[in-house]
């Protein structure tokens, strides 16, 4: 595959993007997928998975409270927050690696950077200034506009490719646009990551 030559270019390595990339690549299409943060997207990194792990963890207390009624004698239990968080982060990293592996195994190429349409036929990858205008959620909740700077450096040598990518380079604090149902989040902090790839 030429560096910027693809039948399908997917923006976003979340549930939808990963599925689209894998299925298309499985049918023989040349697929590239850009992800500016972490493969897996909202569900794996911020949403479904961490939420479920935290909710399951909170249920244990109730199970322990009820246990005596079911005949269990359990010595007084202790809880360690850092252990829960470390294990939750480890599970997310495992899933992120699995998503990455499966996309690459299907034959799609992952570009760890932000992708922006310059016009109908031009995509800008990586370096640039990103302006996001103010957003109104449901006509009621306003998130102000913000400007962020991203950077990308990539070196290709024979079958090797090394890239370093930074999003929100100056670590600007901002609010991401609220979702239509009103869920609001702090925008992503500075994120710097490197990728070393060898093509067989």
Ligand X SMILES: Cc1cc2nc3c(=O)[nH]c(=O)nc-3n(C[C@H](O)[C@H](O)[C@H](O)COP(=O)(O)OP(=O)(O)OC[C@H]3O[C@@H](n4cnc5c(N)ncnc54)[C@H](O)[C@@H]3O)c2cc1C
What is the distance between the alpha carbons of residues 176 and 118, in angstroms, rounded to a whole number? 21
**Residue 58 burial by CB count (10 A; 0-12/13-18/19+): exposed, middle or buried?**
exposed
| 128 interacts with ligand X by CB under 6 A | no
How far from 148 is each of 71, 117, 156, 166, CA to CA, in Å? 58, 16, 27, 11
Q: Which stretch binds ligand X (CB under 6 A): 38-46, 58-66, 69-77, 100-108?
A: 38-46
| 51 interacts with ligand X by CB under 6 A | yes
| 126 interacts with ligand X by CB under 6 A | no
| 32 interacts with ligand X by CB under 6 A | no
- Minimum Å gap between C-beta 23 and ligand X is 13
Pick one of 10, 110, 115, 148: the residue that binds ligand X (CB under 6 A).
115
What is the distance between the alpha carbons of residues 62 and 58, in angstroms, rounded to a whole number? 8
Half-sphere exposure of 44 (CA within 13 A, CB side): 23
Would the CA dihedral through 121, 124, 125, 131 be positive or negative?
A: negative
Q: Which stretch binds ligand X (CB under 6 A): 21-29, 39-47, 69-77, 142-150?
A: 39-47
Find out whether 118 and 124 touch, Cβ atoms under 8 Å. yes
Question: What are the φ and ψ backbone dihedral angles of 89, each rounded to 5 degrees?
Answer: -65, -35
Tell me which residue of 128, 106, 104, 121 sits closest to 195, measured CA to CA: 104
- Minimum Å gap between C-beta 97 and ligand X is 15
| 132 interacts with ligand X by CB under 6 A | no
| 34 interacts with ligand X by CB under 6 A | yes
- Minimum Å gap between C-beta 63 and ligand X is 21
Pick one of 108, 114, 163, 168: the residue that binds ligand X (CB under 6 A).
114
Number of residues that bind ligand X (CB under 6 A): 21
- Minimum Å gap between C-beta 125 and ligand X is 8
- The smaller minimum CB distance to ligand X, of residues 29 and 116, is found at 116
Alpha helices, DSSP H only, in the chain? 15-26, 41, 48-67, 81-105
The site for ligand X (CB under 6 A) is made up of 11-17, 34-37, 41-43, 47-48, 51, 114-116, 183
């Amino acid at each position: 595959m030429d560096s910027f030559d693809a039948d399908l270019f997917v923006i976003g390595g979340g549930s939808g993007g990963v599925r689209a990339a894998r299925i298309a690549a499985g049918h023989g299409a040349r697929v590239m997928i850009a992800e500016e943060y972490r493969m897996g997207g909202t569900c794996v990194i911020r949403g479904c998975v961490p939420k479920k792990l935290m909710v399951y963890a909170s249920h244990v207390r109730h199970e322990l409270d009820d246990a005596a009624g079911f005949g269990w004698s359990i010595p007084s239990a202790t809880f360690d927050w850092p252990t829960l968080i470390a294990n939750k982060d480890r599970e997310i990293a495992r899933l992120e690696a699995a998503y990455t592996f499966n996309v690459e195994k299907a034959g799609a190429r992952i570009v760890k950077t932000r992708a922006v349409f310059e016009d109908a036929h031009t995509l800008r990858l990586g370096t640039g200034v990103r302006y996001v205008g103010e957003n109104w959620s449901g006509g009621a909740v306003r998130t102000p506009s913000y400007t962020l700077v991203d950077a990308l450096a990539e070196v290709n040598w024979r079958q090797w490719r090394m890239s370093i990518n930074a999003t929100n380079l100056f670590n600007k604090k901002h609010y991401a646009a609220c979702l239509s149902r009103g869920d609001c989040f702090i925008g992503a902090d500075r994120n710097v990551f490197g990728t070393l790839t060898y093509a067989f």
